[in-house]
Amino acid sequence: MTEIADITTSGAVSTAARVLAWAAEPTGPVPTGPLWDVARLASPPDRVRIAAAELARRTAALLGAGAPPFGAQPRIGPGTLFLAAAIGGRRQSGAAALLARALPPAAPSRHPGAWYDLVARHGLVSAVIAALDGAGAAGSADQSAQEPDDEQEPLPELMLGASPLTTVLYRPTLRALRSDTTGPVAATAVALLSRPRGQAVLAGGLAAWTPLPQVLAWRASLLTRLRHDHRDLLLDVYLMARTRHAADWDKQIAWAARHISLHSGSVPDPLALATIRFWAPLAAIERDVPLARLRPLLSGQDRALKLVRLFRLDQAGAA
């Protein structure tokens, strides 16, 4: 009976199941598999749905999103399964790209019940991007110079486009960043703020330093956009940065300051610049109101804010 069950669930469904199980505990290489019998993804066996739900639960726990995550109904649509199959079938690049494009991501601002599904997608996409790209090479400075072909966008970019929560917490697609069409991503962040535990997840997800300049630049851009209407979020992000990640930020800010000063006659290193620029939205708030009045526990940010002003990263459009 086991052999019959394996045969009847082989192909794209089996590939998706293996990738979902791997994403819940991402050790070793990302699984690969065939993509035939794709139609069965629309009505998969219970064990595959259970694997997707388990991934959503684990991801929600890591994010601190609560149970159920963000108070959403526990419903997972076929999009997560299509993405998992596309990832596992990535050696068949054409078919994998078609699968990744098959279902547009749900807009959480219009469909609040989509959050459970989007948490599952985020768990899948964030794990795969980290594994396929090492330290996150999909957002590295090297790739920033490569314009993706309109017809052959890399699979990691297609995955990002299908995972709204990942575009908020990691970064939007390169296409959206280059064309300055990140409004829908900002709308997802605002929609998340209205959900239970949404602000805490955003603050925790945006506060850490990362060696990816495009990710840091996106965070500065998003926080700048939200500064006036959602000041409490910004203050929570920077308070988290100065409490949970203080040692790492102090080390990286010191490195960035030295690097920019030593290379003042040349184009600044993108990572050094992005490390300092991350603090520009907080510097903008400080111009209007003393930070001690807004967040008495916020401390240790003075050096970063001085560097923002020194390098004129608080000017309009700098962040």
- Cα–Cα distance for residue pair 71/60, rounded to 1 Å: 11
Task: Return the pLDDT at 319.
Answer: 38
Task: Return the pLDDT at 3.
Answer: 37
| CA-CA-CA-CA torsion sign (101, 107, 111, 113) | positive
Token representation of residue 246: 């203080």
Per-residue pLDDT of the chain (319 residues; tens, 9 = 90+): 333 334 345 799 999 999 999 999 999 999 999 999 999 998 899 999 999 999 999 999 999 999 999 998 888 888 899 999 999 999 999 999 999 888 766 777 667 668 999 999 999 999 999 987 644 444 443 344 344 444 567 888 999 999 999 999 999 999 999 999 999 999 999 999 999 999 999 999 999 999 999 999 999 999 999 999 999 999 999 999 999 999 999 999 999 999 998 887 788 899 999 999 999 999 999 999 999 999 999 999 999 999 999 999 886 444 3
Q: Write the CB contacts of 252 (distance below 8 Å, at least 6 apart in sequence).
A: 209, 275
**CB of 189 within 8 A of CB of 108?**
no
Task: Return the pLDDT at 54.
Answer: 95
Burial of 262 (0-12, 13-18, 19+ CB in 10 A): exposed
Angle at which helices 78-88 and 46-63 cross, to 10°: 90
Cis? peptide before 68, omega within 30° of 0: yes
Token representation of residue 179: 């064309």
- Cα–Cα distance for residue pair 35/85, rounded to 1 Å: 7
- Cα–Cα distance for residue pair 221/12, rounded to 1 Å: 38
74-78 contacts, C-beta under 8 A, 24 or more apart:
74/116, 75/113, 75/116, 75/117, 76/49, 76/52, 76/116, 76/117, 76/120, 77/103, 77/106, 77/114, 77/117, 78/41, 78/42, 78/103
- Domain extents for the chain? 1-203, 207-319
Q: Average pLDDT of the chain?
A: 88
Angle among Cα 23, 29, 35 to the nearest 5 degrees reads 75
**CB of 51 within 8 A of CB of 107?**
no
Task: Return the pLDDT at 175.
Answer: 95
Torsion of CA 169, 57, 108, 192, to 10 degrees: -50
Task: Return the pLDDT at 112.
Answer: 63
